[in-house]
Chain A
Amino acid sequence: MDFPSTQFVPSRMMGTYEPIHQIGMWGENFKSIGNPSISASVIVEVDNKLENESETASHEMPVPSCKHDQEASKPFDKIQRRLAQNREAARKSRLRKKAYVQQLESSRLKLIQLEKELEQAREQQGLYIGGGLEAGHLGFSGVVNPGIAAFEMEYKHWMQVQNRQLGELRTALNAQISDIELRIVVENGMSHYFELFRMKSTVAKADVFYVMSGTWKTSAERFFSWIGGFRPSELLKVLVAQLDPLTDQQIFEVCNLKQSCQQAEDALSQGMEKLQETVSATLAAGQLGQGTYFPQVAMAMEKLEALVCFVNQADHLRQETLQQMSHILTTRQAARGLLALGEYIQRLQDLSTLWATHPREPA
């Protein structure tokens, strides 16, 4: 490269002056940070860079026709300034990228941690619940309500006893056992249902929505759910069809029972509607949209306590209906009735299982 000496010297001179000037600036910067040792290494780096850049700059520099020093140094100055700004911007960009990557790394670690915790929580849940039951009751905290956990274990056991008792009923009806013995089997069956109502009452105090949602039942059973269980009138319909022949007196009494049942269900349903209206009105009291709402929510919670009463009354109705049926029927009919009821529920449960495993067309 051949450069006119006049231009070469100033640029060289400028080249040597600039870094000192720049380093001076940066030295100040680093001194304010309080780490003079860094500035030394940076200065060396910068110096090298500057030398490289000043050489390239001098290649690209337009040859000024005017030989005046000031004019010759102006564009050079500007370019040097711009180069310095670029370097600064590049440095800042590198620092930002570093910070971003560090943030990503820590988020990734946090995610791994959360996944691990979730896994553990799922395993714990598996200990409480026998397979097949849903996890819809973890709530906000992710902790299983002990009342619910206890109920689910008891209910699993209850179903096992139920199936065993149905087997006993089948055997008893086919065998020629005395009415007294059959009566005992019937009484056991009835008591077993009453036991379920007691269990439900206990867990309703722990979480009434759990009972209302029917989470503990299979999906097909849930389809028929009314205030946390079956509609007594519907079960009566199923039963009566299985109990032919009935005497005229029995038919009359069963009809009355069906009607009373229906009336009681209607009364409870209307009460539920009123409860919905009350809770809704309480929640919506005052102005919606202001942001402060705790008093309304607290009051609505009080009203919602009545839901526990409804669940208890619905189960009470189921129990009374069962009792009344056992009074109307003979022992043998009652035994057949219990068996029919049990098998009907089993069919519903099988329907749920079949539905779950039945292959469906992709959406």
Chain B
Amino acid sequence: MQEAIPYKSYSTTRATAVGSRSPLLNFLGGGGGVVANGSESSIRKLVEENAVVVFGRRGCCMCHVVMRLLLGHGANPVVCEVEEGKEEAAIGELSRIGGGGGGDGGGGGGIQLPAVFVGGKMFGGLDRVMSTHISGELVPVLKDAGALWL
């Protein structure tokens, strides 16, 4: 039985809004962790310590779609909401971490939000999640990263 990694990481990150969410909500909502700053160390830590991390703008509807897809498979993605104005810094850091990681990451050099990291590596945006979801490749990738228990 694998450890519930997402929950363990909350206590170590400088999450500002996590405390406001009830534990029950976290359980049901599936890792709706909120990290409001895009500082390098917190991003790196999130990526390293969690099987699936989704980086997106606050209130982004595309992010919502990605979450729905991942949750539908039983994964428990951690969401990192990038603040307005901090987007460029966040994307820069993500590019540094993700460079060389899987598939057609950001489409021609630039990472776009929402961005999904699986198993510590850059996976892609909504496009890639959608393609792999339809082709059936997504589930094995999630399993390999330890995001699924079944």
- Answer whether residue A306 sits at the interface, using C-beta atoms and an 8 A cutoff: yes
**Are B65 and A263 in touch, CB under 8 angstroms?**
no
Partner of A260, one of B60, B68, B136: B136
- Answer whether residue A316 sits at the interface, using C-beta atoms and an 8 A cutoff: yes
B134 to A, closest residue via Cβ: A320
Taking the closest CB of chain B, its distance from the CB of A85, in whole angstroms, is: 74
- Answer whether residue A268 sits at the interface, using C-beta atoms and an 8 A cutoff: yes
**Are A263 and B64 in touch, CB under 8 angstroms?**
no
Our count of residue pairs bridging A and B at CB distance below 8 angstroms stands at: 61
- Answer whether residue A317 sits at the interface, using C-beta atoms and an 8 A cutoff: yes
Task: Report how far A237 CA is from B91 CA in the complex, Å.
Answer: 41
Task: Report how far A274 CA is from B127 CA in the complex, Å.
Answer: 19
B70 to A, closest residue via Cβ: A267
- Answer whether residue B130 sits at the interface, using C-beta atoms and an 8 A cutoff: yes
**Are A324 and B135 in touch, CB under 8 angstroms?**
yes
B63 to A, closest residue via Cβ: A271
- Considering only residues 240-297 of chain A, those with a C-beta below 8 Å from chain B are 256-257, 260-261, 263-264, 266-268, 270-272, 274-275, 278
Partner of A316, one of B60, B66, B130, B135: B130
B67 to A, closest residue via Cβ: A267
Main secondary structure of the interface of B (DSSP, over half): helix
Contacts of A266 in B (CB 8 A): 68, 72
Residues of A within 8 A of B (CB-CB), count = 25
Taking the closest CB of chain A, its distance from the CB of B29, in whole angstroms, is: 14
Taking the closest CB of chain A, its distance from the CB of B34, in whole angstroms, is: 16
- Answer whether residue B126 sits at the interface, using C-beta atoms and an 8 A cutoff: yes
- Answer whether residue B41 sits at the interface, using C-beta atoms and an 8 A cutoff: no
Task: Report how far A179 CA is from B86 CA in the complex, Å.
Answer: 55
- Answer whether residue A333 sits at the interface, using C-beta atoms and an 8 A cutoff: no
Main secondary structure of the interface of A (DSSP, over half): helix
- Answer whether residue B109 sits at the interface, using C-beta atoms and an 8 A cutoff: no
Partner of A264, one of B59, B60, B134: B134
**Are A261 and B134 in touch, CB under 8 angstroms?**
yes
**Are A257 and B65 in touch, CB under 8 angstroms?**
no
Task: Report how far A344 CA is from B58 CA in the complex, Å.
Answer: 42
**Are B134 and A317 in touch, CB under 8 angstroms?**
yes
Contacts of B68 in A (CB 8 A): 266-267, 270-271
Contacts of A320 in B (CB 8 A): 130-131, 134-135
List A residues at the B interface (Cβ < 8 Å): 256-257, 260-261, 263-264, 266-268, 270-272, 274-275, 278, 306, 309-310, 313, 316-317, 320-321, 323-324
| Chain A to chain B contacts (Cβ below 8 Å), 21 pairs | A260-B133, A260-B134, A260-B136, A263-B72, A264-B130, A266-B68, A266-B72, A267-B66, A270-B68, A274-B61, A275-B61, A278-B61, A306-B60, A313-B62, A313-B65, A313-B126, A317-B130, A317-B134, A320-B130, A323-B134, A323-B135
* Extra pairs beyond A271-B64, A278-B61, A320-B134 (4, CB < 8 Å): A267-B72, A271-B65, A278-B59, A323-B134
List B residues at the A interface (Cβ < 8 Å): 59-62, 64-66, 68-69, 72, 126-127, 130-131, 133-136
